[in-house]
């Protein structure tokens, strides 16, 4: 799977799901530690002028683009925080799915309660 990150917009995503961490701060399901952890990973592992990167977990390679348009290729061995970013993405996805399941369950329970009346 490929993962995409945009530092300026605080975007973390894949081909099927995207999260903008600046926007999600108010979401009920959003883990409060996600945004600071994401920022820490970017600061620790990437240049200050990082614009965006694409990470492929099959090839374990990361294509980075700076704000000046320079391109770099790195690997998971060189930047172990890439795995932390993938883990964070999966954590966000699971948290959102659990929250949505809970909401559906609550709606179902409420509907059943109306049917009993």
Note the pLDDT tens digit of each residue in 5-57. Answer: 999 889 999 999 999 998 877 788 998 899 999 999 998 888 888 999 999 99
pLDDT for residue 117 = 56
Domain that holds residue 30: 2-116
Give whole-number Cα distances, 28 to 9, 94, 95, in Å: 21, 13, 10
Quote the tokens at residue 88: 């964070």
Look at 74 and 112; give whichever has higher pLDDT: 74
pLDDT for residue 26 = 74
User: Which residues touch 92 (CB under 8 Å, ≥6 apart)?
Assistant: 12, 19, 24, 30, 31, 34
* pTM to 2 decimal places: 0.84
Render pLDDT for 30-42 as a digit per residue (tens, 0 to 9). Answer: 988 999 999 999 9
Domain count, the chain: 1
User: Residue 12: helix, strand or coil by DSSP?
Assistant: strand
């Amino acid at each position: 799977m490929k993962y995409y990150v945009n530092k300026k917009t605080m975007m973390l995503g894949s081909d099927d799901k995207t999260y903008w961490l600046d926007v999600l701060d108010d979401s009920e399901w959003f883990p409060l530690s996600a945004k600071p952890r994401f920022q820490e990973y970017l600061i620790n592992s990437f240049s200050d002028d990082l614009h965006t990167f694409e990470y492929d977990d099959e090839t374990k390679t990361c294509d980075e683009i700076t704000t000046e348009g320079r391109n770099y290729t790195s690997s998971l061995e060189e930047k172990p925080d890439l795995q932390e970013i993938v883990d964070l993405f999966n954590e966000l996805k699971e948290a959102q799915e659990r929250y949505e399941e809970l909401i559906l369950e609550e709606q179902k329970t409420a509907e059943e309660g109306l049917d009993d009346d």
